[in-house]
Amino acid sequence: MGDEAFSKKTWQSSDGLELHYRDYGGRDDRPPILCIPGLTRNARDFTPVADAFAGEWRVIACDLRGRGESDYAKESASYTPVQYVKDIAGLFDAAGLEKVVLLGTSLGGIISVMLAASEPDHIAGVVLNDIGPDVETDGMERIREYVGQGRSFPTWMHAARSLREGSIGTYPDYAMKDWLRLAKRQMCIGGSGRITLDYDMHIADALAQDMEGGIAADMWPVFRQLAGRPVLALRGELSDILSAETLARMARELPDCEAVTVPHVGHSPTLEEPVAQAAIARLLGKVA
């Protein structure tokens, strides 16, 4: 689905930032799919979701503050899940959203769970992509090590090779064309003409101050509040963020939660994978 397939739209945060989202059109008799990206990612991450489901479903993919085309925060202390939840709640009002299916990757999944707890009447279903109430320490440390490292590259090929060097264990089956595609989702051409990561490096500040980044110490009670609506929990088979044990517990805790492992990928599935798309389609079938 090309760039002409979506409208670029914005909304205002409570502290005056202009935040951006992509709006892919779809049927108005179904709740939209609202996609929330991970810590360093942006709306482009959900191109595979739009390619698969837009038209039959309206797909909204947002840029959190400090990412993609959204304004950077004036204070890095506002880069917290609590603030992101407030921002997305503002999107409900700005876009006139009554009910949505939340689809959150990593940090976006944490935001989705918190949002569902605070705005339960707006939530028709939830997809959690490689995140759960327990986050593995090794994976969190890996993320802390690379977030905020403001590297730049002269060409897209250089950027893709760097991405492959750092993430080959996450996507062991990728060819160079796949790394190029991933690089163009994660990076942009900066003001200097060089290719840079498409986020505010200061998001690392809040992460450094607090390992939890503002997340409640025990997320299980919040997760259990998803009961009564369809939930899909996806896990990359090689993930160092969401363990197989946590995924199994998620399915036990919520009778309406389907747990699906996406083979031979780590943190996080790109949602291009046939297993992931088939699972999302099953969840949407419970909502439609």
Q: Under the phi-then-psi rule, with left for phi > 0, alpha for psi from -120 to 50, and beta for the rest, what region is 231?
A: beta
What pLDDT does 145 receive?
A: 81
231: enclosing H helix or E strand? strand 231-236
pLDDT in tens, the chain (288 residues): 545 589 999 999 999 999 999 999 999 999 999 999 999 999 999 999 999 999 999 999 999 999 999 999 999 999 999 999 999 999 999 998 999 999 999 999 999 999 999 999 999 999 999 999 999 988 888 888 878 777 899 999 999 999 999 999 999 999 999 999 999 999 999 988 999 999 999 998 877 665 444 444 689 999 999 999 999 999 999 999 999 999 999 999 999 999 999 999 999 999 999 999 999 999 999 997
Tokens of 190: 């900066």
Cross-strand partners of 8? 22
* Nearest alpha-carbon partner for 145 in 204, 198, 98: 204
Amino acid identity at 7? S
62: enclosing H helix or E strand? strand 59-62
Which domains are present in the chain?
3-136+202-287 (3.40.50.1820), 150-200 (no CATH)
What pLDDT does 217 receive?
A: 67
251/235 Cα distance (integer angstroms):
12
Tokens of 242: 């969401």
23/46 Cα distance (integer angstroms):
11
What pLDDT does 230 receive?
A: 97
Amino acid identity at 283? L
What torsion do the CA atoms of 149, 74, 109, 30 make, to the nearest 10 degrees? -130
271/265 Cα distance (integer angstroms):
11
